[in-house]
Amino acid sequence: MLEDHKKDYSRERQQFVLVDPKGLVLDSSGTLIPIKKGLILNQLHPFFESLETLQRLQDKKFAFYCVHLQFGNHDLITDIDILRKKEGMFIVIHDLTEHYNSYQAVAQARNESIINEELIVLKNAELEERERFKNLFIQNFSHELRNPLMSSMAFTQILSDTSLSAEQQQLLDVLRDSHVHLKLLLEDTLSISMIASGRLVLKNTIFNLQKMLELLSFTYTTRASAKGLQFNFTPDKKIPVFVEGDRLRLYQVLTNLLDNALKYTEKGSVGLSVGFNQQWANKVHLHFAVTDSGPGIPEDKQSTIFETFSQLASPGKQKGTGLGLALVKGLLVLMDSQIVLQSIPGKGATFSFDLGLKIPLQSELQNHLEIGQAATSRKMGNPGRKYKLLLVEDDERVLTVLFKMLMDANQFYIDVLTDGAMVLETVIQNEYDLILMDINLPNTRGDHITKIIRDFPFKNVKQLPIIGMTAYAYDEHMQAYKEAGMNTVLAKPFDKEELLQTIFSLLRP
């Protein structure tokens, strides 16, 4: 009985075939494959064409695993043993279709998962490369813009100091306004790029919040009035005077929101309200809201207007770059906040956000105020003294502008160099009070020269105040220049006041 069952089982799962050296089937048992006595085996399936080769080898047994054999619509996955016998070859075919099919499913899942992972890594690398290229482009582009913008701003300032007619003065004001706008756009573009690449780091300092809000109120009351609009400023009385946060970035957020509100509002009002939520521990939580009575934002556009280069485009009426709100969103995320938009089309819009700002300790505040006073007292230097400066700049236009700015102050003797390689020799042979040096110089970079100067054995050279000037205004660049030994770095474009303030803050009276 058992033998019968064994035979049945074996017949369904195994086949035994005996072939002579020419591949002629001498005998066959089992029903897996239609192999019959008298057939030529290699004509049944291409697998068996390898038998001829195997016969030439010395081995007595060959084992082939997981061989797919198709006969018509019948697919088998088999292990095949081939043994050398005196009659020829003895072939044992094991049907393992079920076993291998389950293995196939596992292999399928495994390989697909590995390939998908690889493709995701590649896709991410490609996106990162694109992002890197975009940021590099923006960085280089903004660099290229900074030098001409600086010359243009400075020449406008120089021109405004000459005797001009009222009309010329008015035209110059328009030019000055355009410069301010261009400079802001440049800063916004750079900020967006830095946020996207994760390189923007907030710089928290103690600042006078009330003063900043008053400045905004004054600026936008004037601008709103020029457009025939009313500006409503409603600050809560409990807002602290001094807070600790990134003043520049908060200012950037509020000006972008207010600019946007002014831009799209043709009648009615624009407003800024600052509410007091709570004060807890040493943190104050404020609610900022910018409202307008403009056309409002359709519901389907409300989620997309915070994307880069997104605008409410009405044909022929595009205004601005479409960067402002994206920048606001990005900056607020960095500040652990979130922009909220409420708008009913035709009835205006409100952009609001909550912000937690640290309240400085009394000792920190005192320290901050003392530093501020010291800086103010040094602001315009000692009027009775003339200082000797070394100015190193290779851009002819920027050099002319800087030279003119410094000469107009009437407090400096100036030596000029345009080549970085000449700096070391010049500072050894002359006694300077300060070096004003561009970073990207021909032959040697400004930060490299600074590093060498700081390693000099002579105290008078080693400790020379050095101000760097750069059009590469990314935070990490500025940090690297300071680490190289520069006392401070001015980001181009800068104006005369900023230049002189920086110089006098480093000069000994």
Residues contributing to the site for other proteins (CB under 8 A): 45-47, 49-50, 52-54, 57, 62-68, 77, 100, 103-104, 107-108, 111-112, 114-115, 118-119, 122
Task: Write down the least CB distance from residue 133 to other proteins, Å.
Answer: 15
Pairing of the two strands 242-245 and 466-470: unpaired
Q: Which two tokens stand for residue 324?
A: 């402002």
CA distance 271 to 291: 5
CA distance 72 to 28: 20
CA distance 342 to 370: 43
495 φ/ψ sector (left φ>0, alpha ψ -120 to 50, else beta)? beta
Residues making up the chain, counted from first to last: 509
In the complex with other proteins, the residue whose CB is nearer, 119 or 127, is 119
In the complex with other proteins, the residue whose CB is nearer, 103 or 133, is 103
Task: Write down the least CB distance from residue 68 to other proteins, Å.
Answer: 5
In the complex with other proteins, the residue whose CB is nearer, 107 or 421, is 107
Task: Write down the least CB distance from residue 62 to other proteins, Å.
Answer: 6
Q: Where are the alpha helices (DSSP H) in 227-361?
A: 247-264, 324-334
Pairing of the two strands 283-292 and 349-358: antiparallel
Task: Write down the least CB distance from residue 345 to other proteins, Å.
Answer: 45
Task: Write down the least CB distance from residue 406 to other proteins, Å.
Answer: 50
Beta carbons within 10 angstroms of residue 156's beta carbon: 16
Per DSSP, 249 falls in state H
Q: Which residue has the tokens 């401070």?
A: 488
Task: Write down the least CB distance from residue 125 to other proteins, Å.
Answer: 10
In the complex with other proteins, the residue whose CB is nearer, 113 or 303, is 113
CA distance 183 to 493: 8
Beta-bridge partner residues of 508: none
CA distance 36 to 25: 7
In the complex with other proteins, the residue whose CB is nearer, 112 or 177, is 112
Task: Write down the least CB distance from residue 15 to other proteins, Å.
Answer: 17
Task: Write down the least CB distance from residue 243 to other proteins, Å.
Answer: 51
Task: Write down the least CB distance from residue 70 to other proteins, Å.
Answer: 8
In the complex with other proteins, the residue whose CB is nearer, 48 or 351, is 48
Cβ proximity of 228 and 267 under 8 Å:
yes
CA distance 213 to 403: 36
Q: Which two tokens stand for residue 171?
A: 């035209």
Task: Write down the least CB distance from residue 331 to other proteins, Å.
Answer: 37
In the complex with other proteins, the residue whose CB is nearer, 58 or 314, is 58
In the complex with other proteins, the residue whose CB is nearer, 108 or 367, is 108
Cβ proximity of 260 and 312 under 8 Å:
no
Cβ proximity of 451 and 482 under 8 Å:
no
In the complex with other proteins, the residue whose CB is nearer, 122 or 127, is 122
Q: Which residue has the tokens 């100091």?
A: 161
Tell me the one-letter amino acid at 402.
Answer: L
Cβ-Cβ contacts under 8 Å for 86 (sequence gap 6 or more): none
Task: Write down the least CB distance from residue 39 to other proteins, Å.
Answer: 17
Q: Taking each helix axis as running N to C, give the angle between helix 166-196 and helix 97-160, from 0 to 180 degrees, rounded to the nearest 10.
A: 160
CA distance 209 to 189: 25
In the complex with other proteins, the residue whose CB is nearer, 123 or 238, is 123
At 215, give phi and psi (nearest 5°): -60, -45
For 363-408, give the secondary structure using H, E and C: HHHHHHHHHHHHHHHHCCCCCCCCEEEEEECCCHHHHHHHHHHHHH
In the complex with other proteins, the residue whose CB is nearer, 90 or 412, is 90
Task: Write down the least CB distance from residue 326 to other proteins, Å.
Answer: 30
In the complex with other proteins, the residue whose CB is nearer, 49 or 396, is 49
